[in-house]
Amino acid sequence: MGFYKDQVLPRLQDKAMSGKWTRDARHRVCAGLGGEVLEIGFGTGLNTAFYPSAVKQVRAIEPSAVCLRIAKPRLDRSPIRVELAGLDGEHLDLPSDEFDAILSTWTLCTIPDVSGALAEMRRVLKPGGALHFVEHGCAPDAGVQTWQSRLEPLNKRVFGGCHLTRQIDDCIRRAGFDIEALTTYYLKGEPKVFGHTFEGRALKP
């Protein structure tokens, strides 16, 4: 799986995550960002087109060198400076109370220790700072949940550790955030087992 995970998967994800439904969600979740922003799971830079002008700088966490190569043309076009700040969202080598906002788009599903990563995000946010997120996860319908549980082991192997059954809002609350806004929905045109989405903002008290 090494060649597939390192070389093939980033290119597949770049194509899969650049559709209209993701662009609409990215536009919404990036709204209101400003100041110093940390993006967890920067990927191939698909959010760069949606950074508001109020953003001074983005520090990016991304482990994949291939993703960063794919991102380069987008970075070159972006008026917002983006700087690589680390490879691992579970262990951020960054000062506490540093960032005005954190951005996470379809990332929390793949981090092995999601509780540890969210604790680190909370640590580096300024008090009152916001985590802007859009993530897929556990569906509200029992029948869909059953299929998510059945398919999750295969999904993790094929899509770089992606979990289908994480209750994203509960994970965020347990990390000590106060959820300010939350919308949940099934993505149009996506199978429900893959498409249940949590979108919102959570504040560091």
Kindly report, residue by residue over 69-87, the tens digit of the pLDDT.
999 999 999 999 999 999 8
- The pLDDT value recorded for residue 193 is 96
- The pLDDT value recorded for residue 159 is 86
Q: What is the pLDDT of the chain when averaged over all its residues?
A: 94
163 residue type, one letter: H
In the predicted model, what is the mean pLDDT of residues 139-156?
Answer: 96
Instruction: State yes or no: pLDDT of 1 exceeds 70.
Output: no
CA 130-48-35 angle, to 5 degrees, is 40
- The pLDDT value recorded for residue 64 is 92
Kindly report, residue by residue over 93-127, the tens digit of the pLDDT.
999 999 999 999 999 999 999 999 999 999 999 99
Which CATH class for the 2-203 domain? alpha beta
Instruction: State yes or no: pLDDT of 129 exceeds 60.
Output: yes
Q: Radius of gyration of the chain from Cα atoms?
A: 16
- The pLDDT value recorded for residue 18 is 82
In the predicted model, what is the mean pLDDT of residues 135-146?
Answer: 97
Instruction: State yes or no: pLDDT of 34 exceeds 80.
Output: yes
Tokens for 148?
């998510």
- The domain locations on the chain are 2-203
CA 76-84-15 angle, to 5 degrees, is 60
Q: How far is CA 202 from CA 45, 127, 134, 144, in A?
A: 23, 12, 11, 26
In the predicted model, what is the mean pLDDT of residues 37-48?
Answer: 97
Beta strands in the chain, from DSSP E residues, in sequence order: 35-40, 55-61, 81-86, 99-105, 125-136, 178-186, 196-203
Residue 16 CB partners (closer than 8 Å, separation 6+): none
Instruction: State yes or no: pLDDT of 175 exceeds 70.
Output: yes
In the predicted model, what is the mean pLDDT of residues 163-182?
Answer: 98
Instruction: State yes or no: pLDDT of 10 exceeds 90.
Output: no
Q: Which of 119, 117, 113, 108 is nearest to 166 (CA)?
A: 108
| Residue pair 94/124 in contact by the 8 Å Cβ criterion | yes
In the predicted model, what is the mean pLDDT of residues 6-27?
Answer: 84
Instruction: State yes or no: pLDDT of 60 exceeds 90.
Output: yes
In the predicted model, what is the mean pLDDT of residues 129-145?
Answer: 97
